[in-house]
Structure 1
Amino acid sequence: MSRFYSLVWLEEVSSTQDWLKEKSINCVVVARRQTKGRGRYGRSWQSDEGGLYFSFPLTETFKDEQTLPLAIALSVCQMLEDYGFLASIKWVNDVYIGGKKICGILVEKTKDRTLIGIGLNVNQKRFTESLQATSLLLVSGREYHLADVLLKLLDRIDKNLDLLKERGFQVLREEVKKRLLFLGEEVVLYTDPPTVGILADLSPEGYLVLMTAQGEKKVVSGDITLRGTMLS
């Protein structure tokens, strides 16, 4: 049986993540707009009407739980491919089309649940220029039915979560790796000071493997970008 048997669709919330934190129910909550949508590190997520903004809780135990953002990002890519788009995963929690961000994923732990938040740009016609974002409408020139996109994505997520739970990240790793943005290219890891290296691999634990001047470096967390660009 699918995990996603109950759905609440709201006009506006501060964020779907916050809404779930305040409720004890387990459901998928969707909002047409968010007034305080956010991504990792508390970064703001532009949440105008036309996008798909939703969250859901997980109460299960997963093998390789740290790879949940990658499993969700893979699901988003696969759903977009079903629509004919070519999408890439920017480690660890973003999805890009044509060099611009189209989806962000937020994973937050509470005492008894893991909350998954997803923002997918679907029918928006414009973004703040500094965001370097795009939408399905801007890429394809056509509008999409949000409920259809949601149901297709939930189906992909459900199947990949089953695989992650039963077999671990190993069964998803190659699928993630072949969609990994910047693989084989020189990137900058924003540490203090920044680290420069070739993005050489994705480890069995879902970490990045960089080949630096000092040797191999396994990246557990942080932001990367292609050297010489401001992609974020």
Structure 2
Amino acid sequence: MAETASTNADMKARAASGAQEGLWLRAEQQSGGVGRLGRKWESPKGNLYCSTLVVTQANDPAPSSLSFVAALAVYETIEYYLPHDHMLLKWPNDILVSGSKICGILLESTADNVVVGIGVNVAVAPAVAERTVTSLHEEGCDRDVTAAIMLENLAKNFEDRLKTWRHSGLSEILSAWQQRAHPKGTRLSRVDEKGIGVEGEYAGLSDDGALRLRKADGALIEIHAGDIHVG
């Protein structure tokens, strides 16, 4: 579609009408894109704005852990197009290229469905308050690579990672995620929705995907939500 308010909102409507797992929607532009914590997601033409649908099953891991599935799929897709390897995953589903944010992932649940919304800066890096951002083209990606081309690769990678999550379990997904994340001992800070902060060293993930942070006094804490900053 050329323009919509939000591909996630469109997908939720499709899910309510009986849409099947594996459907993807892409828009050239969004007028009401939303990121984490209700932040506005700037959506200029030239970038990838898409959503897909996962229908949860009885034996699936926790639906929230699909954030790691999506992060891996997007990481592998971006990696395919970039001429360098200055990439890392930041908990839970941010991808940093040359230290800058390049994508956004938002999960929304509705009934037994999870809508996975993904935005990737392909051609343009819109200004984001208090964050440095980049795009695939700025990082040296071939200018012939478009959002439509990228989605073909992303859909396949997501399908593969979803099968792993569903049939091999979350542990395999988390292991793959950690191989692409900042190394253990990296200094991280977290600010929660109330503005309360904590700092420490990255100490891996728990079995359910919580971020483990070792504080200066040696205490090991687990973080389940909040904005994470590297350094």
Question: Cα deviation per residue 1:50-96 (whole Å; 9 max; x = unaligned)?
Answer: 00000111113222433211111011111222224432211112111
Q: Does 1:90 align with 2:90?
A: yes
Structure 2: runs of 5 or more not aligned:
none
Query: Is 1:60–2:59 an aligned residue pair?
Result: no
Say yes or no: does 1:168 pair with 2:169.
Answer: yes
CA gap of 1:60–1:102, structure 2 versus 1, over 3 A, is same
**Aligned-residue offset at 1:112:** 2.9
CA contact (8 A) 1:66 1:206 kept: no
Q: Does 1:18 align with 2:9?
A: yes
Aligned to 1:128: 127
Which residues of 2 match residues 81-230 of structure 1 at below 5 A?
81-84=79-82, 85-86=84-85, 87-124=87-124, 126-128=125-127, 130=129, 131-140=131-140, 142-143=142-143, 144-181=145-182, 183-191=184-192, 193-212=196-215, 213=217, 215-227=219-231
Q: Secondary structure at the match of 2:26?
A: strand
Aligned residue for 1:66, secondary structure, equals: helix
In structure 1, the gaps of 5 or more residues are 1-9, 228-232
Q: State the 1:155 CA deviation.
A: 0.5
Distance in 2 (alpha carbons) for counterparts of 1:203 and 1:183: 13
* 3-state secondary structure, aligned to 2:139: helix
> How far does the alpha carbon of each residue in 1:31-62 deviate from its partner, in whole angstroms, 9 at most, with x for none?
00001111111111111000000011111322
Q: Scaled by the length of structure 2, what TM-score is found?
A: 0.87
d(CA) in 2 for partners of 1:36, 1:15: 6
Q: How far has the Cα of 1:141 moved from its partner?
A: 5.7
1:4-43 equivalences under 5 Å are: 10-23=1-14, 24=17, 25-26=19-20, 27-43=23-39
| AA partner of residue 216 (structure 1) | L
Provide, for residues 156-178 of structure 1, a one-character-per-residue CA deviation record: whole Å limited to 9, x for no partner: 10000000001111112222102
Amino acid at match of 1:67: S
Looking at structure 2, the residues matched to 14 and 129 of structure 1 have their Cα atoms a distance apart, in angstroms, of 19
Measured in 2, the distance between the counterparts of 1:127 and 1:145 equals: 17
Corresponding position of 2:76: 78
Structure 1 segments of 4+ aligned residues over 3 angstroms from their partners: none
C-alpha separation in 2, matches of 1:133 and 1:33 = 19
Maintained 8 Å contact 1:34/1:48? yes
Percent identity over the alignment is 29
Distance 1:121 1:129 in 2: 12
Checking the alignment, whether the CA contact within 8 Å between 2:189 and 2:228 is kept in structure 1 is: yes
Aligned length: 217
Q: TM-score, normalised by structure 1?
A: 0.87
Moved more, 208-217 or 155-164: 208-217
